Structure 1
Amino acid sequence: MDNPAQHVQHRYAHGEHRPLGGYVATGLTYAVAAGGLLIAGKRKGAAAETRISASDLALITVATHRLARTLAKDAVTSPLRAPVTRYRETGMPSEVNEEVAPEVKDRPLLHTIGELVTCPFCLGQWVATGLVGGHVLAPTLTRLVTSTLTAVAGADALQFAYSALQRLEGSDEG
C-alpha cells in the first residue's frame, strides 16, 4: 500500500467499501458547475448584492424538494438511474427504493453516482444550485419551472392528506 491515497482510503473505510475517489470527482464536478453558474451570472451582469425574494426562495425550496424526489425516487425516472442502480423494493406511493448496482461498486465514480441519484437529500444540493443559478440567468423561465414543481408538491401533500382522511373514516366503520 505505497500509494498515500490508498492508505487514506483503507484507514478511513474500516473494511467497508467507500468510494472516496468518486466522492472527490463528484465534488469537483459540483464545484466546477457552481463556479460556471457564478461566472455566467457575472457575465450576465448579476450584481454581487443580488437577493432572492422570500417568495422566490419559497418556490425554489419546495421545487428543490419535489425535483430531487422525482429524480431519486419516482418509478418513472428509474430508467435514468438504472445504469448505476438496481431495484430493491417499492417505496412510498409511486416511488421505488434502489441501491447501487453490484457491478459498479468497484468503479468509484459510478458507485458515487449511484449513491447520488438514489438520495433525494444528496440531489437537493445539486438541484437547488441549478434552480438558484436559473433564477439569476433566466428568472422568468425558472419561476415557471419552480411554480410547477411547487404545485406538484402541494398536490402530493393533498393526496397524502386525502388518503389519511380516508383511512381515518374507514377506521370508524366497525
Structure 2
Amino acid sequence: MTTDAARYDDQGEVPLAGYAALASVFAAGAGTFALVARRRGVRLPQEVPPWDVALLGAATYKTARVLTRDKITSFVRAPFTRRSGDGEASEVIDEPRGSGLRRAIGDLVACPFCTSAWTAGALVCSYAAAPRLTRLVCGGFGALTVADWLQYAWTWTQATTTES
C-alpha cells in the first residue's frame, strides 16, 4: 500500500501527518481565540491602520528570526533540530531531525518563513484583544528590526571603506 507521503515525494520523507497535526493546532488556537474573545466581548477593530500592519510585520519578522535563528533560543529548537552551521550576524542554522511529528516541528522551528505565520497569528490575536499592549510589544520588536538593519548597514559601510 502506498502512503500519501510516498505519493507526495519520491522518498516518502515528508511528514504530512505531522504537518496536518500542526495545521490543526494552529486552526484550533485561532478558533479558540475567536470563541473566547467573543464570549468576553472583545470588539474587533473596524480597520487596521497601515502603520499597525507595518509594526505587526516588523515584529513578526523579528520574532520569527529570534525563534528560528538566535543562539539563545536553541534550547527551544534542540529537541527537533540539529545545528548545521553558523549564519550571518551570529545567527545559527538548524536542520530538522527525526520523523513524523518531530520532523514536522523541526521543519517549523528551523524556518523563519514558516514560523512567521505562527507569530503573526499570535500577534494579530493579541492586537485584537489588547491593541495598546500589542503595539508596545511590537514596537520593541520593531526597534530590534531597525537595529538589525542599522547593524548590517554599519558592517557594510565598514567593509566598503576598508576595501577602498
TM over 0.5: yes
Normalised to the residue count of structure 2, the TM-score between the two structures is: 0.94
Q: Tell me which of 43, 56, 60 is aligned to 2:56.
A: 60
**CA distance in 1 between partners of 2:90 and 2:72 (Å):** 8
Normalised to the residue count of structure 1, the TM-score between the two structures is: 0.89
Q: Tell me which of 39, 42, 55 is aligned to 1:43.
A: 39
Aligned CA-pair RMSD: 1.4
2:131 aligns with 139
Q: How does 1:12-51 map to 2 (within 5 A)?
A: 12-47=8-43, 50-51=46-47
Q: Tell me which of 60, 65, 68 is aligned to 1:69.
A: 65
User: 1:71–1:77: 8 Å Cα contact kept in structure 2?
Assistant: yes
Deviation at 1:73, TM superposition (A): 0.6
Q: Tell me which of 90, 102, 105 is aligned to 1:110.
A: 102
User: 1:40–1:137: 8 Å Cα contact kept in structure 2?
Assistant: no
User: 1:84–1:100: 8 Å Cα contact kept in structure 2?
Assistant: yes
2:111 aligns with 119
Q: What are structure 1's unaligned runs of at least 5 residues?
A: none
Aligned-pair identity (%): 37
Provide the secondary structure at the position in 2 that maps to 1:65: helix
**CA distance in 2 between partners of 1:89 and 1:7 (Å):** 33
Deviation at 1:153, TM superposition (A): 0.3
Provide the secondary structure at the position in 2 that maps to 1:51: coil
Shift of the 48–155 alpha-carbon distance from structure 1 to 2, 3 Å rule, reads: closer
Aligned residue pairs total 164
Deviation at 1:47, TM superposition (A): 4.2
One-letter amino acid of the structure 1 residue matched with residue 105 of structure 2? I
Structure showing greater Rg? 1
